[in-house]
Amino acid sequence: MKKEMIELLNDQQYSLSFSISDELNIAGKTGCSLSQVEDAALALGIVPLRYQRNLGAISIAEQRRLLNSRVSVIGCGGLGGFVIEELARLGIGEISAWDYDYFQEHNLNRQLMAEYRLIGHSKIEAVSRRVRRINPGIKFYGMYREFNEQEAGESLKREQVVVDALDSVPARLELSRACCHLGIPMVHGAVNTWYGQVSTQFPGEDVIEQIYAGKEKYRLGEKSVLVFAASLVASLQVAEVLKIILNRGDLLRQKIMLVDTLSMDMEIIDMPKNDD
């Protein structure tokens, strides 16, 4: 099956243009999945057209690494919708997403996946459909449940990176503990009104504890979130995910980036590990 696929890939002039219909054609002839076809193509230096404009910024080998990566997004609201959209377009091979909620009208101001006709529908179903439409090669796992530390162990242990797109302090502290326990890096993002923050925490680090411990009972800020604050913070989170997977660039480890779209500035603050 794989040999046949490689022969088909080598026979054609795909190095010039390898489209989704070519991929589907080979997958249909050989019984391989789209991700297997893409993986074999990238290994031969053939780049699917959908990833062509990623190249230059990243290499063919790096695109293949993304295809063989798995990322989990916890929360499919304002941040999570944009994060998943961007992970799918980048070509992350496996994406899991957690949310137990349904769309409500007040989600329409900022949540990418929210549409008027989907009010009352599951967020996970909407995200799943969206991912399939953007990139049918992606393996998507919808976790229709509320995040909690106990369940996380079994479900998250295969993830390479976890994205914090939650909306409460206690849940974030639980996620941070779970990721530290499982040895998984976590990319944190949070938003409120015009403002946002981003940080990356590797196992053994403590930025999330420093930010939130002892604040479980507080509502931090207003209920309002403007769409550009959400999309901006989500994009910064995805950039962190990409760099973790590719082991490139600089990460916001033991640092927090504060984003202010009203004053139009960003500042990075060092938050060294608290050894006390």
Nearer to other proteins, 27 or 208 (CB): 208
Do 162 and 185 meet the contact criterion of CB atoms below 8 Å apart? Answer: yes
Residues 92-121: x where in contact with other proteins by CB under 8 A, - otherwise, as a string: ------------------------------
Q: Cα–Cα distance between 6 and 266 in angstroms, integer?
A: 48
Number of residues forming the site for other proteins (CB under 8 A): 41
For residue 187, what are the β-bridge partners? 163, 200
Q: In the set 45, 132, 267, 268, which binds other proteins (CB under 8 A)?
A: 267
Do 75 and 175 meet the contact criterion of CB atoms below 8 Å apart? Answer: no
169: helix, coil or strand? helix
For residue 143, what are the β-bridge partners? 98
Q: In the set 2, 106, 145, 215, which binds other proteins (CB under 8 A)?
A: 215
For the chain, give the longest Cα–Cα distance. 63
Query: Does the footprint of other proteins cover residue 235 (CB under 8 A)?
Result: no
- Least CB distance to other proteins at residue 222 (A): 8
- Least CB distance to other proteins at residue 127 (A): 14
Quick one: which of 145, 134, 185 has its CA closest to 164? 185
**Hey, how many other C-beta atoms are within 10 angstroms of the C-beta on 145?**
12
Residues 171-210: x where in contact with other proteins by CB under 8 A, - otherwise, as a string: -x----------------xxxxxxxxx------------x
- Give contact residues for other proteins (rule: CB under 8 A): 75, 77-80, 164-169, 172, 189-197, 210-212, 215, 218, 220-221, 223, 225, 256, 258, 260, 262-263, 265, 267, 269-271, 274
